[in-house]
Amino acid sequence: MTNDQLRSLIEAIAAHRDRGAFAELFHHFAPRLMGFGLRRGADAATAEELVQETMLAVWRKAGTFDATRATVSTWIFTIVRNKRIDMLRRQTYPEVDLEEAAEIPSGERPADGDLANSQDEVALQDAMRTLPAEQLEVLQKAYFEDKTHRAIADEMKLPLGTVKSRIRLALARLRLLLPEGQV
């Protein structure tokens, strides 16, 4: 629909409370508004509620639409954006019981944990030195550079299966060399 057609629907709603015009406007915008809500992180039920609230506001405020200030789409998407912000503000977050929170252990590790981690690091580095260069390279890209298998395959110009096999073989070898629970 063109902006002129949409504007005439808004004007019919504002002037005559034209239900047919509203139905046309609703059918045009509902899927778009639903997609907007879903892309903004709302679940399907919340996105549907957002559509309903927005279109109800369009029905009620059609007389306030000013074609010199915005297109119909801009006006409606401004309403939906504001409704989404209002919904986020209304969300309630559970209160934290301060007495319970005081009982939760802090994230600090004891000193002997630091020593154990240091020893584990050394063991891992020693084990990684025993890997063939091609296995070590794909393992480093996957775990230290956080690249996907596909990205590694593309970067190294290798088949995806080869990358996966090298990672699997490297991890199997590390499992054999390291104490249980380290890989």
The structure tokens listed for 23 are: 């139905």
Q: 0.75 cut: is pTM over it?
A: no
Collect all residues with Cβ–Cβ distance below 8 Å to 80 and sequence separation of at least 6. Answer: 33, 36, 37, 50, 51, 54
Q: How far is CA 141 from CA 81, 92, 149, in A?
A: 40, 42, 9
Look at the chain and count its residues.
183
Tally of CB atoms within 10 A around 121? 11
What is the distance in angstroms between the CA of the first residue and the CA of the last residue of the chain?
58
Reading the chain (183 residues) residue by residue, the pLDDT tens digits are 898 999 999 999 999 999 999 999 999 999 999 998 888 888 899 899 999 999 999 999 999 999 999 999 999 999 999 999 888 888 766 666 666 666 666 666 555 555 555 666 777 788 888 889 998 899 888 877 888 889 899 999 999 999 999 989 988 888 888 776 555
Residues 167/142, Cβ–Cβ less than 8 Å: yes
pLDDT the model gives residue 175: 84
**Which structural domains are found in the chain, ordered by start?**
3-90 (1.10.1740.10), 125-177 (1.10.10.10)
CA 68 from centroid of its chain's CA atoms:
36
Reported as half-sphere exposure (CB side, CA atoms, 13 A), residue 166 has a value of: 22
Q: In whole angstroms, what is the distance from residue 50 CA to residue 56 CA?
A: 10
Among 144, 145, 162, smallest CA distance to 153 is for 162
Tally of CB atoms within 10 A around 91? 7
Q: How far is CA 41 from CA 36, 48, 153, in A?
A: 9, 12, 32
SS3 118: helix
Helix axes 160-177, 133-143, angle to 10 degrees: 100
